Every structure is written in structure tokens, then in C-alpha cells.
Chain A
Amino acid sequence: MSHEAVLHGHESHGHDDHGHHEHHDTFLTKYVFSQDHKMIAKQFLITGMVWAVLGGLMSVLFRLQLGYPDASFPWLESILGKWAKGGQITPEAYYALVTTHGTVLVFFVLTAGLSGTFANFLIPLQIGARDMASPFMNMLSYWFFFSASIVMLSSLFVETGPFSGGWTAYPPLSALHDASPGSKTGMDLWIIAMALFVVSSLLGGLNYIATILNMRTKGMSMTRLPLSIWALFFTAVLGVLSFPVLLSGLILLIFDRNFGTSFYLSDIFVNGVGALSNEGGSAILFQHLFWFLGHPEVYIILLPAMGMVSEILSVNSRKPIFGYMAMLGSLFAIAVLAFLVWAHHMFVTGLNPFLGSVFVLLTLLIAVPSAIKVFNWLTTLWRGNIRFTPGMLFAIGFVSLFISGGLTGIWLGNAALDIHLHDTYFVIAHFHIVMGVASMFGMFAGVYHWFPKMYGRYLNNSLGYIHFWVTIAGAYMIFWPMHYEGLAGMPRRYFDFSIWESFKQFADLNRFISTVSMIVFAVQILFLINFFYSIFKGRKVTVQNPWESNTLEWTAPINPGHGNWPGEIPEVHRWPYDYGKDGHDFIPQTTPVGADETGTH
């Protein structure tokens, strides 16, 4: 059905409740300043992908330094100029790369790129709404993200370099212009970009919450929502409650940086400058404010992946998700606990030991809902009839990575172990596996699974399989051995280990890790080729419901127009997980409950 026909169908039923709706979309209103949630989702996705490539490339560059600290690569100088004099990355450039990699991947890729994409795409389609509660705010959310991207990108080209004090931006390093070249203009731009980003995520988050609560179609009670929607709901709540705290922390930082206040500064003597007049501030205050967002942020990244994985595992196992209510309860528990554990990032800051012990208890408590989720996923696979679509493979990979990375969380959450492992490669291994790679897998799973709905075409399966197997093997080869480096106390954020008697024994391992990381990066390019080729030339989707799934988005036309359903929005009669019930392979949510059906959810 053409876009035009969809619009007319949509109109004739008198459902045009969006005053802004235009009949003749111009290029500008359709592709650029679009208010269609599906187009905004694609904008988030593609911007996120651009950042993922940049951020990934940065990691390849700094891995080059870590793997080959003595080698010189003349071509590096030709692309990085003074940042790689003589073909060797300078410490300054190294720290800028590490910092930007972290910031970009955490916020721009795994927050905006992940929940921005899928909250926008899935919420209206899966709950049965024509669009978001406020399509205009939704559009603003993307454009704030876009401007944040532009500012962040521009900071890479500042003469003194982008911010280089780590993505956590701890003051005084981030507050003092003279403490590091990256703390000059680069840091101001970093703060502005982050502030714009917070605005974007608030506009998005409020919209997602309002839409889920108010715009569900007839029959779609909260407990009939797919778990992907529940996860996105909790994600939005976490974001709305925690991002403002980061913003307030950053505003105080701006004041300390530029207007002579002393929120974070006290008793400081800077080499070459002398004693500063600031007294009475607390550098630790920023860490509290930062991690009050920072820890929920981890779940903002992880929950959407969990939700989509639950959905994809169930669809492709042809089995209901096991323990829907337990899944929901554990999502809720994680969302609540997310706000009560931030200080576990601060066990070694001189925190009151009693306070530390409370945070140990609450942190390890998170392992309980996490364990419930893992066992429920395993039980979902058990006695299923599994179809290995690329989306399903990535969902299974997610569970594997979530287990591996989650278990090391039990090590780090225990303060008595953290006191040794804090800020070592063990931490890098832990959070890259459980949050970075796992959520990336959730994102890939989502892209492979919903690509047919996004573009009306399929991605190439064989490339998807290659992408999955190389990525999961590579991810483990990169991050598994880092645990060993961490157990030796090898610190994070070191430019070069060759002067350290305690850590230099890992030189060959570092080279191995760097080599694998390049291969894994190369395979991601393969995914990009697949993605962009398939948008235009992929195999066309010919059936409305290619995965034989129960959820509402597959009742919409193959290429849904703005408004999603021509005619009435379908009514929902059951939960979305009736797979393999009463001898039926699947029963869509729109099918009324039959008289002879066994107990319904």
C-alpha cells in the first residue's frame, strides 16, 4: 500500500487526531523535520551508527597504541597531524580518544542510538498508537541530540583538543583549564554537548512515558504489553529521574570552570600556576552527582536490550517468554535498585566505610533480579523450536554476554574486592561485556529483527551470520583476557605500560587484543554495508508478518505510513506471548480469545 493510500485510509476513518498532519510531505518534512515516530527512529539509528563508527574507530586507534607502543605508523600522522607526530599517537591524543570513545559510546550510541531508536520505533507500533503523545517534542528530541552531536564533533577540532579527562569528567581535572590541555575549550564544548543531550533525552523520555501510559489501543492493558515496551518504559523513567541530576552537576562545573565558584574545588596548587583561591568545595560531590546519573545510565543502556531480547527470544523459540510477571518484576526491581547503588563506583574515594557497606548490600542485591532474568531466558529456550534468525543469534549472544559480565559485577560490587580491582582492566572487561557489547548485541538483535518493519526489506542473512559469529568470538577474545590483566592490578587509562615492572608482562597480550579489535571493527563495517545496501536493494518483504510474531507492529502494512494503520487501530484481546498454545504455532494479539481456549494470561 502506498503512502498516499495509507494517509487516505487513515483519514477516511476520521482518526486524524494530529493537528499537524500534512497531506503532501515535502522532502524536508518527510525526511528531515519529520514528526513521524518511525522516521525519527531511523534518524536516531543512523546518527547513532555514525557515532558508533567514529567511536569504534577511536578505540581501534588507541588500541593501536596499546598493542604497538613502540611502532610508528606514518599514515597516522597524515590523518591526525600533530596528534600523531612521527606516526605515534601522543598521550594527549590518546586520552582524548579514550574520553571521546567513552562519552560517545555511552551516551550517543547506547542511549540515543539504542533507546532513541527503539523507543521511537516500537512504542507506537507495539501499543497500537498512531504516533507519540507529542510528535513535535519527539522531533525536538532528535534535533537536540543532533545539535549535541554537532557540538561534540566540533570539540574534536579545537586547537587544544577535545576533553581528555575520561568520560566521567571528574573535577578538579575537568574544572581547571591549566590541569590539562583537554580541559580548556574542549571541556566547555563537552559540557554544552552533554547539556543538549540531556535536554534531548528528557524530551524523548517524557514522551515515551506519556505515550505508553495514555495511548494504548483498546484491550492493551499494561500487563498485555510486550516486555520490550515495559523495558523502554522503565528506561524512560530512569532517564527522566536521573539526567537532571547530571545536568545540575555539569552546571556547577561550568560555574567552577568559568565563574570562580568553589563547588568542587579546594586546596589546589597547580604546577606552573600556583595556589588557587578556591577553598571549601568538595571534589567528591561531583562524583555523587555524576554517578547518581551514571549508574542508572548503565540500566538505561541495558534495559532496552533486555526487553528486545526477551521479545526476540520468545518469537524465535516459538514459546512464550517464561515468567512474564517475574520478568516485569525484575525489571522494576532493577529500575528501583539502579538509584540506590551509585556509590559503588566510589568505594575507594574515602567514603564512610559504613555507607560503603550499605552500598555493597544493595549492589549485590541487583544480582537477584538479574539471575531471575537469566534463568527465565534459559527456560524460554528450553523445549522450544528455535529459529536462528540473525536477530535470534544476537539475542542468544546477549544472554551469554550478560551472564559473563554480570558475574564479574559480583566481584566488583563487593567493596573488599573492589579495593584491589577498582580502575583496573578488570573493570574495563566487566562493563564492556555486560553493558557495552551486550547492549550492542541487543541493538543488533533489534535492528535485524525489526529491519523488515523499518524498511520493508530484509537484511542479508549470510552477512548477518558472519557478523554475529565473528563479533561474539572477537568480543570474548578481546575482553576475556583483560580480566587477567585486571587481576594483576593493571590500571585503566594508561598510555603505555613499558615502564611498569608490575604490568609490562602483558605486552604480547595487548598486541593480541588490539589485533582482534581491528578484525571485529572490520566486521562491523560489513554490517554497515549490509544495512545500507539492504535499505535500497535488499530482498523485499512480501508477507505482512515475516517472523510469525504476535505483536501489533506486524498487523500494520508492510510499509506503514504516518499513522501506522490504515483504518481502525486493531483491538487487542490477549497478551503477546501465545506461542505454541493449544496446538497453534502463534496467536496474534488481535485474535479474540476462543471459547475452547485453555486459561489465558
Chain B
Amino acid sequence: MTLFLSIAIIALIYVVIFQIAKASEYVSILKGEEASRKQNNKINGFLMVAFLVLGFIGIYVCNKAYYGKTLLAQGAASVQGEKVDQMLWITLIITGIVFVITQVLLFWFAYKYQESDNRKSFFFAHSTKLELIWTAIPAITLTVLVIFGLRNWFFFTGEAPKNAMVVEVTGKQFGWIFRYPGKDAIFGKKYYKNIDPATNSVGIIWDDNYSQDDILTEQTMYVVKGQPVKLIIGSRDVVHDVGLSHFRLKMDAVPGIPTTMWFTPKYTTKEMREKTNNPNFAYEISCDQMCGNGHYSMKGIIEVVEQEEYDLWMAKQKPQYFVAFPEKDPTAVKVDGAAKTDSTTKVATAKM
């Protein structure tokens, strides 16, 4: 019932507006086309300036309400991010100046040069000088932006420092899997046909000696404050994207084609909680490439911690090899003294 009522009301509003518009057309015919055109011109000319002024007020209000909610206000959390923010500001200032000048000219000209009997339009078809000016100025400005941009771009996409911690990130519908190389600092080889969602979610080849200390975690990844992290990114089904808005970076996760990205986190999660005054703050990994119906819920967390805390966390992690083959786990079979020696020798031989 309310549905029909609201439809009826909306229809009524349309009819009213339409009738008023019809009536104004009859009035303008009575007044004569010339006179009504002049009147319309005055109204619209005024609205042009009004729109300009209200528009700038609107921008001010919007900025006041939402600037604080952008990440720009809370600052970037990585060395790379700070460079991105700096670029954002430079670009904002340059484009902002152009924006204000051109919009003011546009609406001001529209208002100022509205039709008047006292003025004849100025026949001005061409001026090489003017056209050269507004070819050259944008070209020079853009060169500056390109230079700044590319310097940062090559820094972001360049080689990660030697001391970088390496973590492998794999996207799947709809979650993230992280792999640490373990003590040997080398990832074991993997092949997608080995994937077993329960015990081997990235398809590690267990025969590869480097694989047996690899550590797998899901959803949460730990990194150390101040230490560069290099991510080796892949996907096991469709294209995903590792979006790190607080670090101002992102990189696609493409099945079959590994990509990389590195950054240096500047604040621990705890520090960011204080900095942003938000006890729930988390470095969230958002999937930024449409990947299916669960796309919006594909969340990962990066915990940035101090070195000691990282070491503690790492010590608690069990290599995935022992998760897949619990019978070979030296810690799990400790209770059984006889089996222990047996399994360690097995592991040792496998490593050779």
C-alpha cells in the first residue's frame, strides 16, 4: 500500500513539474520569443555564477568533513607511502591551481558575456601566440610531474634491498596465504597440481629440500618495523590484487605469473593505533581486483611488530611439512622416545 502511495506521489510530482513547465512555455509564447529568451538568459547567467560560488562552498564543506577521514590526513605508514603522499600534494597543488583558474573563467565568462543588445560578439578565430602559450605551459608542467613520478616509480619498482625479508603471498577465492622461507631463507619449489586445500594450500613440492622448513599462515602476516619486506605475489585461481592502502602500494596477484613489491614499514600496528586514536586499527590487505562474489570480503592483515615480538611469533610457527606429515614432526612425537630418533634421521636424510 505504501509502495503504491509513494509511486502515486512521485507521479504527481512529475505531473506538477511538467504542467508548470508547459505553462511557462505558453507564457513565453505570449511574451514573444525574443523577450522570453532574454529573461531565460538572465536567469541562467545568474545561475552560472551562483553555481560557481556554491560549488566552491561545497568543496570547502566536503573537504572539512572528509579530509580527516582520508589516509592522507593520518600519514603514510611506509617509506614508499611518504613519497606517494608527497607526490599527491605536488599534483594536488598543480592541478588545483589549474582547476580553480579554468572553472572560474568558464563560469565567469558565461555570466559576463551573456547575450546583451549593447554588445557585439568579438570575431576572434585564431591566435598562434595564445595557442603556443597554452601548449607550452602544460607541456612544461607535465614534464615536471613526469620526472617526479618516474623517479618514485623506479624507486618503488626497483630491486628490494639485500636485507629485505621475503614473504610469498598467494591469493585465492577469497583469502590470502602467506609463506615464509624458514631458517634456510629459501623457498621450496611449488607446483600448482600439488595443491591440497587442507595441508598444502600453495602446492609445495615436498621433495625439494628447501621446502621442509617453509612456514604457511593464512589471513595474518607478520613483518618487522623498519625492515624492508619483499612480497612475491601470486594467485592460485583468478586475478587478485594485494592492496596496501596504508603503505600506499598495490600489486596484482596473477595465476602463473609471479609479481613482486617491496616496502619498508615505518610504524608498528601498536604505534598506528595510538597515532590514529583507533584501538581497532589494523593494516588491512584489501583485494583490489574483482575476483568473484566474495571479493569485498577478501581481507588479510599485516601485523607490523618490533624484532623481538617477531622472533617470538616466528618461534611458535611450525613448518608446513610437519603439518602435512605429522608423523615426521620431531616435536609432536617427543612423547615417544623411540620414534623420535627415527623421524629425525629421516628428515636428515631427506635434507641431504
Give residues in A with beta carbon < 8 Å to B: 75, 91-92, 95, 164-166, 168, 170-173, 176, 179-181, 265-271, 275, 279-284, 317-326, 348-350, 353, 356-357, 360-361, 364-365, 367-368, 371-372, 374-379, 381-388, 393, 396, 399-400, 403-404, 407-408, 410-411, 414-417, 419-420, 422-424, 460-463, 465-466, 469, 472-473, 476-477, 480-481, 484, 487-497, 499-503, 505-506, 509, 522, 525-526, 529-530, 533, 539, 577, 579-583, 601
Identify the 9 closest CB pairs spanning chains A and B, nearest first: A489-B245, A266-B256, A350-B259, A353-B157, A388-B44, A580-B121, A416-B152, A383-B122, A414-B149
Report whether A180 and B245 are in contact in the complex, using a CB–CB cutoff of 8 Å.
no
Task: Give the interface size bracket for B toward A.
Answer: 35 or more
24 A-B pairs, CB-CB below 8 angstroms?
A173-B290, A176-B238, A283-B239, A284-B257, A348-B250, A353-B157, A361-B150, A367-B142, A368-B142, A372-B135, A375-B102, A375-B130, A386-B41, A386-B113, A404-B103, A407-B98, A489-B71, A499-B297, A501-B284, A502-B246, A502-B282, A526-B14, A529-B14, A577-B125
Give residues in B with beta carbon < 8 Å to A: 3, 10, 14, 17-18, 20-22, 24-25, 28-29, 37, 40-41, 43-45, 47-48, 51, 55, 58-59, 62-63, 65-67, 69-72, 81, 83-84, 87-88, 91, 94-95, 98-99, 102-103, 105-107, 109-110, 113-116, 119-127, 130-131, 134-135, 137-139, 142, 145-146, 148-150, 152-154, 156-158, 172-173, 192-193, 195, 197, 203, 233, 236-239, 241, 243, 245-246, 248-252, 254-260, 278, 280-282, 284, 286-297, 299
Report whether A379 and B150 are in contact in the complex, using a CB–CB cutoff of 8 Å.
no
Which residue of chain A has the shortest Cβ distance to B193 in the bound complex?
A275
Provide the residues of chain A in CB contact with B157, threshold 8 Å. Answer: 353, 356
Report whether B138 and A353 are in contact in the complex, using a CB–CB cutoff of 8 Å.
no
Provide the residues of chain B in CB contact with A280, threshold 8 Å. Answer: 256
Known: A283-B256, A371-B138, A495-B295. A170 touches B115 (CB 8 A): no
In the complex, besides A461-B24, A488-B69, 14 extra interface pairs with C-beta distance below 8 angstroms are A166-B290, A176-B237, A181-B293, A267-B256, A271-B172, A321-B125, A360-B150, A368-B139, A385-B115, A387-B115, A417-B149, A420-B250, A423-B241, A496-B296
Provide the residues of chain A in CB contact with B146, threshold 8 Å. Answer: 360-361, 364, 414
Q: Interface majority SS on B: helix, strand, loop or mixed?
A: helix
Report whether A268 and B21 are in contact in the complex, using a CB–CB cutoff of 8 Å.
no
Report whether A325 and B126 are in contact in the complex, using a CB–CB cutoff of 8 Å.
yes
Compute how far the CA of A357 lies from the CA of B157 in the bound complex, rounded to whole angstroms: 11
Report whether A318 and B296 are in contact in the complex, using a CB–CB cutoff of 8 Å.
no
Provide the residues of chain A in CB contact with B120, threshold 8 Å. Answer: 385, 580, 583
Compute how far the CA of A194 lies from the CA of B286 in the bound complex, rounded to whole angstroms: 31
Compute how far the CA of A269 lies from the CA of B177 in the bound complex, rounded to whole angstroms: 14
Report whether B294 and A322 are in contact in the complex, using a CB–CB cutoff of 8 Å.
no
Known: A267-B256, A484-B67. A385 touches B239 (CB 8 A): no
Which residue of chain A has the shortest Cβ distance to B83 in the bound complex?
A416
Shortest Cβ distance from B85 into chain A, in angstroms? 9
Report whether B110 and A386 are in contact in the complex, using a CB–CB cutoff of 8 Å.
yes
Provide the residues of chain A in CB contact with B71, threshold 8 Å. Answer: 487-489, 502
Provide the residues of chain B in CB contact with A506, threshold 8 Å. Answer: 66, 69
Report whether A75 and B66 are in contact in the complex, using a CB–CB cutoff of 8 Å.
no
Shortest Cβ distance from A430 into chain B, in angstroms? 12
Shortest Cβ distance from B172 into chain A, in angstroms? 7
Provide the residues of chain A in CB contact with B25, threshold 8 Å. Answer: 460-462, 539
Report whether B84 and A419 are in contact in the complex, using a CB–CB cutoff of 8 Å.
yes
Which residue of chain A has the shortest Cβ distance to B252 in the bound complex?
A349
Report whether B238 and A179 are in contact in the complex, using a CB–CB cutoff of 8 Å.
yes
Within 8 Å by CB of B293, from A164, A271, A525, lies: A164
Report whether A423 and B131 are in contact in the complex, using a CB–CB cutoff of 8 Å.
no
Report whether B102 and A460 are in contact in the complex, using a CB–CB cutoff of 8 Å.
no
Report whether A385 and B116 are in contact in the complex, using a CB–CB cutoff of 8 Å.
yes
Report whether A522 and B58 are in contact in the complex, using a CB–CB cutoff of 8 Å.
no
Report whether B14 and A381 are in contact in the complex, using a CB–CB cutoff of 8 Å.
no
Provide the residues of chain A in CB contact with B94, threshold 8 Å. Answer: 410
Provide the residues of chain A in CB contact with B14, threshold 8 Å. Answer: 525-526, 529
Within 8 Å by CB of A463, from B18, B98, B131, B238, lies: B18
Which residue of chain B has the shortest Cβ distance to A586 in the bound complex?
B121
Report whether B173 and A539 are in contact in the complex, using a CB–CB cutoff of 8 Å.
no
Report whether B58 and A388 are in contact in the complex, using a CB–CB cutoff of 8 Å.
no
Report whether B66 and A319 are in contact in the complex, using a CB–CB cutoff of 8 Å.
no
Compute how far the CA of A539 lies from the CA of B25 in the bound complex, rounded to whole angstroms: 9
Report whether B255 and A170 are in contact in the complex, using a CB–CB cutoff of 8 Å.
no
Compute how far the CA of A349 lies from the CA of B346 in the bound complex, rounded to whole angstroms: 42
Within 8 Å by CB of B237, from A179, A357, A376, A481, lies: A179
Report whether B70 and A284 are in contact in the complex, using a CB–CB cutoff of 8 Å.
no
Report whether A323 and B293 are in contact in the complex, using a CB–CB cutoff of 8 Å.
no
Compute how far the CA of A217 lies from the CA of B197 in the bound complex, rounded to whole angstroms: 70
Interface centre among B66, B91, B152 (most CB of A within 10 A): B66
Report whether A388 and B290 are in contact in the complex, using a CB–CB cutoff of 8 Å.
no
Known: A179-B292, A384-B113. A368 touches B239 (CB 8 A): no
Known: A179-B238, A488-B70, A499-B297. A403 touches B91 (CB 8 A): no
Within 8 Å by CB of B58, from A171, A323, A476, lies: A476
Provide the residues of chain A in CB contact with B127, threshold 8 Å. Answer: 322-323
Which residue of chain A has the shortest Cβ distance to B295 in the bound complex?
A493
Known: A353-B157, A381-B113. A501 touches B122 (CB 8 A): no
Known: A410-B91, A416-B149. A466 touches B134 (CB 8 A): no
Provide the residues of chain A in CB contact with B113, threshold 8 Å. Answer: 317, 381-386
Report whether B21 and A501 are in contact in the complex, using a CB–CB cutoff of 8 Å.
no
Provide the residues of chain A in CB contact with B280, threshold 8 Å. Answer: 501
Report whether A350 and B257 are in contact in the complex, using a CB–CB cutoff of 8 Å.
yes
Shortest Cβ distance from A601 into chain B, in angstroms? 7
Compute how far the CA of A367 lies from the CA of B241 in the bound complex, rounded to whole angstroms: 28
Which residue of chain B has the shortest Cβ distance to A327 in the bound complex?
B131
Shortest Cβ distance from A344 into chain B, in angstroms? 12
Within 8 Å by CB of B87, from A414, A461, A472, lies: A414
Provide the residues of chain B in CB contact with A372, threshold 8 Å. Answer: 131, 134-135, 138
Which residue of chain B has the shortest Cβ distance to A347 in the bound complex?
B153
Known: A181-B293, A388-B114. A318 touches B142 (CB 8 A): no
Shortest Cβ distance from B127 into chain A, in angstroms? 7
Provide the residues of chain B in CB contact with A320, threshold 8 Å. Answer: 123-125
Report whether B98 and A95 are in contact in the complex, using a CB–CB cutoff of 8 Å.
no
Report whether B126 and A322 are in contact in the complex, using a CB–CB cutoff of 8 Å.
yes
Compute how far the CA of A275 lies from the CA of B67 in the bound complex, rounded to whole angstroms: 46
Provide the residues of chain B in CB contact with A422, threshold 8 Å. Answer: 250, 288
Which residue of chain A has the shortest Cβ distance to B281 in the bound complex?
A501
